[in-house]
Amino acid sequence: MTNAANVQNEIIDILRQQKLASSVRKLIDERARLRGREFTACVITYGCQQNENDSERLRGMLSGMGYTNVSDRRGADLVVFNTCAVREGAEMRLFGNVGALVHDKRKNPDMKIAVCGCMMQIEENARKIKMRYPHVDIVFGTHTLARFPEILYNALSDDKRAFDVIDTAGHVYEGLPIMRDRSFSANISIMYGCNNFCSYCIVPFVRGRERSRRPENIYAEIRGAIKSGAREIMLLGQNVNSYGRDLGGDIDFSDLLRSINDIEGDFRIKFMTSHPKDASEKLFLTMAECGKVARHLHLPFQAGDDRVLTAMNRGYTREQYLNKLARARELMPDLTVTSDVIVGFPSETEDEFLNTLKLVREGQFDMLFTFLYSRRPGTPAAAMANQVPREEKKRRFDMLTELQNEISLKKNQALLGRRLRVLAEGKSRTDPSMMTGRTDGGKTVNFEGAKELTGEFCDLEIIKANTWSLYGKL
């Protein structure tokens, strides 16, 4: 199909969904009037920021359809579970939480339950919901998010269960409504899907191939967010470094960053995730030259041993990784660096794990997200011999955490006395007498200050440093 024909189809689709959305609204308004109480919806998110961003779209659509979004699932008339399939733990939690709603549904005859997102792209999961969770009314996948009004209308109007999961990713939908969680920080997806097929990872199977959004649509969304008070723009993609490759090669991620940096306003730009194999000199130079780009790099290395990296299909060696990291730090000496690592990849030996520890020592990361390898059926690694026993994974995990905690503490202590810019996020959840915010590098800083500072940049002097958080003074 030609591009023009695609755009045409997309417009027809969107118009159709808008019409169905107003049909839902009519239904909901009518029923709300009859029962004398508004309809509420609760969207629960598992997984990454892209999923969170999809949930923000769902809330935007729901609000347009007459629902009031609430955060408590109990008593809600619609509960939407937006699921994640990246590790087994997230899947188990989902089934448990869906099961627990049986009783709520008996109490509220208007209640509908929907399950969507990455897990539903896996046939076995969708089937399990269909067969064993008859109280679930609606199932849809990542590729049919834009058809949510239609799915919901079908379920509401004839009280039958509605399923809509398709295998292939369509085009990128623009113009879906959005309701952001926090007005001062805007998640902006710049691309969807992933082409990398790391051997342990399910994401390419549930999110499809890479699709980049047109730059002009990204700029427009960012301008809108800034107009509504956003101070932080978080650009999202499974590998932002391959942005634009499917757009004909006129623009790459660095070009995009530079153009966003030129947008007027007082805001900082963050992005995730960068795949090390594609993190280029051009990217580091661009970051260093663009004043609004936060000095933060999230660069997941996953393993510190070359054989394991090859088995993971990551496309770089430990030396190449460390060289890139060193170059980035050379250009940006105050760079905060964070990373992801997996322990217990199939056949990982003790020596290979020790190489990961060694990389952690050399890399001196500010923060590390450590995961126990989780077997994902359908991925190449799931079929590999010599799966590492759980206790052994756990032992390696603990060793790694202990080492990283030492490093994180040391890194944080080095910030004592420094003045850092922090974006205030509101009252601290653990200590409501304090405000909390984040540095450009994503570190949490607690400080005494007025609630009204929420959403503003504050200059703080760091006066206390822990492993996980800092304390500052205005």
Q: Report if residue 152 touches ligand F3S, rule: CB under 6 A.
A: no
Q: Within positions 56 to 95, which residues make up the interface with ligand SF4, using CB under 6 A? A: none
21 binds, among ligand F3S, ligand SF4, ligand SAH, none (CB under 5 to 8 A by kind): none
Determine, following the binding rule CB under 6 A, whether residue 203 of this chain makes contact with ligand SF4: yes
Q: How many chain residues bind ligand F3S (CB under 6 A)?
A: 12
Contact between 84 and ligand F3S per CB under 6 A: yes
374 binds ligand SAH per the rule CB under 6 A: yes
Does 273 sit behind a cis peptide bond, omega within 30 degrees of 0 on the bond before it? Answer: yes
381-393 as b/e, with b when 16 or more CB fall inside 10 Å?
Answer: beeeeebbeeeeb
Task: Indicate which of ligand SAH, ligand F3S, ligand SF4, none lies near residue 50 (CB less than 5 to 8 Å, by partner kind).
Answer: ligand F3S
Minimal distance, residue 90 CB to ligand SAH, in Å = 10
Whether the Cβ atoms of residue 399 and residue 408 lie closer than 8 Å to each other: no
Q: Where are the alpha helices (DSSP H) in 159-294?
A: 203-207, 215-227, 253-261, 281-289
Segment contacting ligand F3S by CB under 6 A, of 202-210, 263-271, 316-324, 428-436: 202-210
DSSP state of 214: P
Q: How many CA atoms lie within 13 A of 334 on its CB side?
A: 12
Any idea which residue has 């997230």 for tokens?
90
Residue in 345, 339, 346, 343 with CA at minimum distance from that of residue 407 = 339
From the list 78-86, 94-102, 295-303, 397-405, the region that binds ligand F3S by CB under 6 A is 78-86
51 binds, among ligand SF4, ligand F3S, ligand SAH, none (CB under 5 to 8 A by kind): ligand F3S
20 vs 343 by CB, closer to ligand F3S? 343
- Long-range contacts, stretch 302-306, CB < 8 angstroms, 24+ apart: 302/198, 302/340, 302/341, 302/342, 303/341, 303/342, 303/345, 303/348, 303/352, 303/355, 303/356, 304/341, 304/355, 304/356, 304/357, 304/358, 304/359, 304/360, 305/348, 305/351, 305/352, 305/353, 305/355, 305/356
Residue 55 interacts with which of ligand SF4, ligand SAH, ligand F3S, none, CB < 5 to 8 Å by class: none
**24 is a site residue for ligand SAH (CB under 6 A):** no
Minimum distance from CB of 275 to ligand SAH (Å)?
5
Does 374 sit near ligand SF4 (CB under 6 A)? Answer: no
CA 263 to each of CA 119, 175, 222, 256: distance values in angstroms, whole numbers, following the listed order? 37, 20, 9, 11
Is the CB of 287 or the CB of 368 nearer to ligand SAH?
368
- Partner touching 118 among ligand SAH, ligand SF4, ligand F3S, none, CB below 5 to 8 Å by kind: ligand F3S
Among 342, 420, 435, 465, binds ligand SAH (CB under 6 A): 342
Nearer to ligand SAH, 359 or 465 (CB): 359
The rounded Cα 266 to chain-centroid distance in angstroms is: 24
445 binds ligand SF4 (CB under 6 A): no
Burial letters 167-188, b for 16+ CB under 10 A, else e: eebbebbbebbbbbebebbbbb
Q: By CB under 6 A, is residue 279 in contact with ligand SF4?
A: no
Stretch that binds ligand SF4, among 201-209, 287-295, 423-431, 440-448 (CB under 6 A): 201-209
Q: What is the contact surface with ligand F3S in residues (CB under 6 A)?
A: 47-48, 50-51, 84-86, 118, 202-203, 206-207
